[in-house]
Structure 1
């Protein structure tokens, strides 16, 4: 893998796609574990348009060793840094008949263990007993997100659309996008590949039109220590 190329793409464009991180056997085993997970937890959300598992690595721990295969660990250690660790994980299953779409946005919050009064941290939200807060922009700029694709994903089944370089503009409100100067890219990712992105990259997801599933494992990474009043809600050590 050309780690320096991927690192450059992420820093400059805000994202990169890397093929063939997982074999078909690894994907099958990951899906089998997910399908057998107990879905009575509050972190599970199911509707006709979406199935999601929040705190994915915590509530489905048997999947961790498969997810963090040697190729993924090499990416984290070399492209991000050896001191980076997971801070948030979600599993998304967008069914083949889904009409669910997401408009352009940045990922502006982090998951933490409790609410606290901290300068420059806010606003706060609570969703399914999970505290989230918008931190200073420097914290967001430090984060990398890996999206592991368990299905072939293109513009017909909800591949992310992004605005390259938008992560360099700090907080960028979608309603202020100037389409006379901005361009849009569709991030097609083959099964077993990953997309790496910066949370401040403006991104969206269209409806599915080809009856094909789009199953994705979303994991965020940081190497920062938070203020003493709060902790990362899902911090894990990966061997």
Structure 2
């Protein structure tokens, strides 16, 4: 597979969509693995509007080999020449009856192992038993988000809307109108496909209106070590792609 187009789109526009990252059989295996997991503890959140699993690899370790198939490993390798590692893994299930939307925002928080006062680390939070913090901007700029779609997702069941190139403007205040909604793009993704995104890209999602599920595995990758003594809450190395000499 050649992901050069996706790499260019991600850098220039802040997002890219690709199909066929996983086969139907692979998606079925991923869904079965999640459904068979023990669902208790802080990391599992279940309401009528949302089912989410935080620290997904820690809580469902069997998923690791299913997610990191040859295509995903190849994709990450081609997106950057640096050594990237996984820093966040969350499973989201937006159920059929879910009726909420998410306004435009940037993903500005990372999950870390402790709270400590450090320069350029701001806006601390503590939710569901884990610390979040806004890190130095270069950490956010170098984050690669890969959203794996377990269902076909379109404008009727919560596909993400994005503002192309908004990641190039740095951190945008919530009340700012420093973007042009006329440029809004809806990222429709096939089942087994993925959406790539920079966290500083302004993104939002609408309510589900067609009664269909939208199950997504949200993965974030980075190459930076954090300022000591701070560490990423999640840190998983990535296998090298197995290149065939054919």
TM (norm. structure 1) is 0.97
* CA root-mean-square deviation: 1.2
Give the equivalent residue in structure 2 for 1:187: 187
How much does 1:219 deviate? 0.4
Is 1:100 the equivalent of 2:100? yes
Q: Which runs of 5+ in 2 are unaligned?
A: 240-246
74-83 or 121-130, which deviates more: 74-83
Give the equivalent residue in structure 1 for 2:67: 67
Q: Which runs of 5+ in 1 are unaligned?
A: none
User: How far apart in 1 are the matches of 2:182 and 2:93?
Assistant: 30
Distance 1:42 1:180, change over 3 A: closer
SS of residue in 1 equivalent to 2:73:
helix
SS of residue in 2 equivalent to 1:120:
coil
How many residues were matched structurally? 239
Deviations 1:176-222 (A, max 9, x none): 22565751000000000000000000000110000000000000000
Distance 1:180 1:216, change over 3 A: closer
User: How far apart in 2 are the matches of 1:29 and 1:131?
Assistant: 31
Give the equivalent residue in structure 1 for 2:242: none
Give the equivalent residue in structure 2 for 1:150: 150
TM (norm. structure 2) is 0.94
Give the equivalent residue in structure 2 for 1:213: 213
Give the equivalent residue in structure 2 for 1:46: 46
User: How far apart in 2 are the matches of 1:218 and 1:181?
Assistant: 25
Structure 1 stretches of at least 4 aligned residues deviating more than 6 Å after TM superposition: none
3-12 or 178-187, which deviates more: 178-187
Is 1:229 the equivalent of 2:229? yes
Deviations 1:96-120 (A, max 9, x none): 1110211100000111100011001
